[in-house]
Chains A and B, each alone.
Chain A
Amino acid sequence: MKKNFIIIFCMILSINVFAQESKDKHLAKLPAVEIQDLNGNAFNTADIQNDGKPVIVSLWATWCKPCIAELLAIADEYEDWVEETGVKLYAISIDDAKTSARVAPFVKGKNWEYTVLLDVNSDFKRAMNVNDVPFMCILNGDGEIVWQHTSYAPGSEEEVYEIIKSLVKK
């Protein structure tokens, strides 16, 4: 056991040293994970993009109250956000087989304009090292992750929008 730990430790250390010397170092992009769209078609998360404009990725679930509060708060502003910055929001639901069939009626019932995807086996959640939902991250026009956040407090959508605006200005 102890040995395993040391091996992993050394591995990371060596990669880390390598990292600091490399000129190719840049902000991380989204991992490529096969999930589904609302029709059940395969969708690779590496294909999340918005023609050089910023992207918001939200991990949520129909049973998660703060997630819904956050997406509702953004829904009120979304039209303006899109108009002013061209931002696009991907709402990736981690609902599993029990509730995933209810995601589409839920989203339509709330009248959300987001691109909704399904991560029924939590593969994307694991690849993103997400412990709890709500989780949100922002990608710049090159698809690099510039900001990540967990949990929701009313008003934090303002911070999200500030970041989006600063990305567009650049």
Chain B
Amino acid sequence: MIFNSIKRFLFASGLLFCCIYAQAQHQIGNSRISGDFGFNGMYYIPDSIIGAEPVDSKVRGNAFLNILYSNGGFSAGARYEFYMFPLIDFDKIGYKGQGIRYFFAEYTNKFISVTAGNYYEQFGNGLTLRAYEDRQLGIDNSLLGARIKLTPYKGIYLKGIWGMERRNFDSYLDRHDFVSGSDLELSFGEMFPVIQEKGFTARVGASFVSKFEQPDQNHIFTLHPGTDSAMQAIIPSDKWPKNVATWATRMTFGYKDFRLDGEYARKINDPNISNGYIYKPGESFFLSATYARKGLGIAASFIRADNMEFRSQRSENSNSLLMVNCIPAINRQYSYQLIGDYSYASQPNSQIGAQLQVNYQIPKKSVLGGKYGTDLTFNYSRFHDIERQLVPEAIENGTMTGTTGYTSSFFKFGPNLLYQDIGLEISHRFNNKKWKWILAYNYITYNLEILQGHAGMMRGHLVASDLSYKITPKHALRLELQHLYTKDDDGSSIYGMLEYSFSPNWFVSIGDDWNYGNPLEGHKTHYYNISCAYVWNTTRIALNFGKTKEGILCVGGVCRAVPASFGAGLSVTTSF
């Protein structure tokens, strides 16, 4: 059964691939066909020590094929996905099935752009609407419907959208919810070029997004839970708001090297599972200030979010499914192996925090800078939950459900620290250009209880070094060494990885993440990994074998769980 399906899929995509190939990367007049294909498969081996459970089909894989056609202002495309036996991470989040779940046709000219089918869109910073895709995380919030973009005059941008959000491979037919919205942006610099000539940037924008959801059933909940006077209460289905609205205003102001961005959003009428079914309005505020000149960049930002989780369906709570908006996580993102599990996940219902990042280049040809300059990056970020005072009715009922929940003072930090990061990174190239070294230190505080659901705080020091050596112009070695020192959670770990690359085609690497400080005897595991990749133009084929630690994978403040696994993997991506 599994092999038949896979065979069928490979046969179909193979045929398609062959016949497009002759035509790929060419166009006839303005007409062009292009596409890309990706496969990510794994053979699983159970391992009881790391917690890699036996899986029902040992061979699993995700595959997709994108085809795009364009001719001048017209374009159309479709994506076929085959996730019948997906990797276990995707199986766990329900991303399982097959079919065309993305297709569109679009026409664009100077004044108008019309899209029918699936599309991705974002208003402003995404506080009201962000339909996007992250294939690594298994997130695809594309909207199925229609979109119109208008540019009636230089610098005036209008957008209107209507659509239903994708929910994995589920059918759209039995859905009772949709999202609609509009957005206006005025760019004064484009309207009046004299503003830009004087070095100013000025822009304002506003968006409005509404979700419609047919109330389905009464919601039964308990008053005074856990006490003798516990009793059932009900929110009747006709008390559910059919429409939930959010709106936001934003502005950008810049003068020469300085820039200020801000957005404020509100939401009303949205009792949902994540906020405990309360009727309190939500609000969010995002502010960012940057200064940049040659050799120096400073970025500071602030965010506050209160009850801003916003989904197409009020009872949906699995990770990132049916999210309409996105409250950005503004902390610095790292790709260090050892702190991957301690990446901050944005908390749309309760977070207040700030981030500061300074990039500075010690000038080239100075004593400290050397011939090519030395880059320094300093970073500080801190996030708390928001302060909350329960409303009298919630205290009286012993539950917030059905009330306006709580009140919160705008600029007050809540009692719980969620995440803090202090970091410094130095990057230097040595005079003969053969050696390059990046050295980083971070002190991270991470709230395990709120962010991952198991008790305590993680406080850890990370030292990471990344040293590259160019043996010849085409052969290079790269050595990564990291040490995480902590007494919390799974304890300290050390990581080493050696990569050899033969440009531009071959990469071979071997690495080991040793959890030597694990407090449990017998769990001081080596998570080793061997991999080999071959790259030819836009095609990449990679093989790897090794162990993956149970943890979380975060891309841009959105995270999902990664189950422990052991086995051999094959990944192929290509575009044509």
Min Cβ gap B429→A in Å is: 7
Cβ of B408 under 8 Å from chain A: no
Partner of A109, one of B67, B124, B133, B295: B295
C-alpha gap A111/B294 in the complex (Å): 6
Contact with A along B315-354 (1 / 0, CB 8 A): 0000000000010111001110000000000000000000
Q: Are B31 and A131 in contact (CB under 8 A)?
A: no
Docked-complex contact B474 and A158, CB < 8 angstroms: yes
List B contacts of A96 (CB < 8 A): 122, 126, 132, 556
What distance in Å separates the Cβ of B250 from its nearest Cβ neighbour in chain A? 11
B290 touching A8, Cβ below 8 Å: no
B47-73 toward A: CB 8 Å interface, digit per residue (1/0)? 000000000000000000011111001
We find that the number of chain B residues with CB closer than 8 angstroms to chain A is 116
CB distance from A22 to the nearest CB of B (A): 4
Contact of A82 with B by CB under 8 A: no
B28–A19 CB distance below 8 A: yes
Whether B190 contacts A26 by the Cβ 8 Å rule is no
**A166 interface hit (Cβ, 8 Å):** no
A15 touches B504 (CB 8 A): no
Chain A interface main SS type = mixed
Given contacts A19-B22, A102-B357, contact A108 B335 (CB under 8 A): no
B293 contacts the other chain (Cβ, under 8 Å)?
A: yes
Contact B201 A39 (CB under 8 A): yes
How far is it, in angstroms, between the C-alpha of A36 and the C-alpha of B28 when the chains are bound? 28
Please measure, in the bound complex, the distance between the C-alpha atom of A26 and the C-alpha atom of B330, giving whole angstroms.
44
Contact between B68 and A158, CB atoms less than 8 A apart: no
Bound: A150/B361 CA distance, A: 28
B299 beta carbon closer than 8 Å to chain A: yes
Q: Is B100 an interface residue (CB 8 A)?
A: yes
Q: In the bound complex, what is the Cα–Cα distance between A65 and B20 (angstroms)?
A: 33
Q: How far is the CB of A129 from chain B (nearest CB, A)?
A: 4
Q: Are A155 and B476 in contact (CB under 8 A)?
A: yes
A154→B135 CA distance, assembly (Å): 27
Given contacts A40-B187, A105-B290, contact A12 B19 (CB under 8 A): yes
A153 to chain B: closest CB distance in Å? 4
A130 CA to B126 CA in the complex, in Å? 23
Quick check: A108 and B328 within 8 Å, CB to CB? Answer: no
Shortest Cβ distance from A101 into B: residue? B288
B512 interface hit (Cβ, 8 Å): no
CB distance from B495 to the nearest CB of A (A): 15
Could you tell me the distance between the alpha carbons of A8 and B66 in the complex, rounded to whole angstroms? 11
Given A1-B99, A9-B16, A98-B330, A109-B361 contact (CB < 8 Å): yes
Known: A41-B189, A120-B122, A155-B473. A97 touches B130 (CB 8 A): yes
Answer yes or no: B34 CB below 8 A from chain A CBs.
Answer: yes
CB contacts under 8 Å to B, within A41-65, are 41-42, 63-65
A80 smallest CB distance to B (angstroms)? 13
Residue pair A42, B190 in contact (C-beta under 8 Å) = yes
Closest-by-CB residue of B relative to A41 is B190
Pair B28/A97 contact, Cβ less than 8 Å: no
What separation, in Å, do the CA atoms of A20 and B504 have in the docked complex? 31
CA of A128 to CA of B190, assembled, Å: 27
Chain A residues bordering chain B, tally (CB within 8 A):
71
Residues of chain B within 8 A (CB-CB) of A145 are: 25
Contact residues in B for A15 (Cβ distance below 8 Å):
23, 31, 33, 69
Partner of A108, one of B293, B329, B501: B293
Of B126, B295, B377, B575, which one neighbours A129 at CB under 8 angstroms?
B575
A153 near B502: Cβ-Cβ < 8 Å: yes
Q: Is the CB of A159 within 8 A of B28?
A: no
A26 to B23, CA, bound (A): 10
Question: A10-52: contact bitstring with B at CB < 8 Å (1 yes, 0 no)?
Answer: 0111011011101011111101101000011110000000000
Q: Do residues B326 and A97 form an inter-chain contact, with CB atoms below 8 A?
A: yes
How far does the Cβ of B16 sit from chain A's closest Cβ, in whole Å? Answer: 6
Q: Chain B contacts of A121 at CB under 8 A? A: 120-122, 132
> How far, in whole Å, are A34 and B25 apart by their CA atoms in the complex?
21
Partner of A102, one of B66, B108, B126, B299: B299
Q: Which residues of B lie under 8 Å from residue A20 when comparing CB positions?
A: 22-23
User: Can you list 24 A-B pairs with a CB-CB distance of less than 8 A?
Assistant: A5-B100, A9-B16, A12-B16, A12-B67, A26-B26, A28-B25, A65-B466, A96-B556, A98-B556, A101-B259, A101-B290, A102-B357, A104-B297, A109-B358, A120-B122, A131-B38, A131-B573, A135-B538, A149-B535, A150-B539, A150-B540, A153-B502, A155-B473, A155-B474
Further contacts, 20 of them, CB under 8 A, given A149-B504, A151-B533: A4-B78, A4-B100, A16-B23, A20-B23, A32-B108, A63-B333, A63-B335, A72-B427, A97-B125, A101-B290, A101-B299, A104-B259, A109-B292, A109-B359, A109-B375, A110-B359, A122-B132, A127-B70, A150-B575, A154-B468
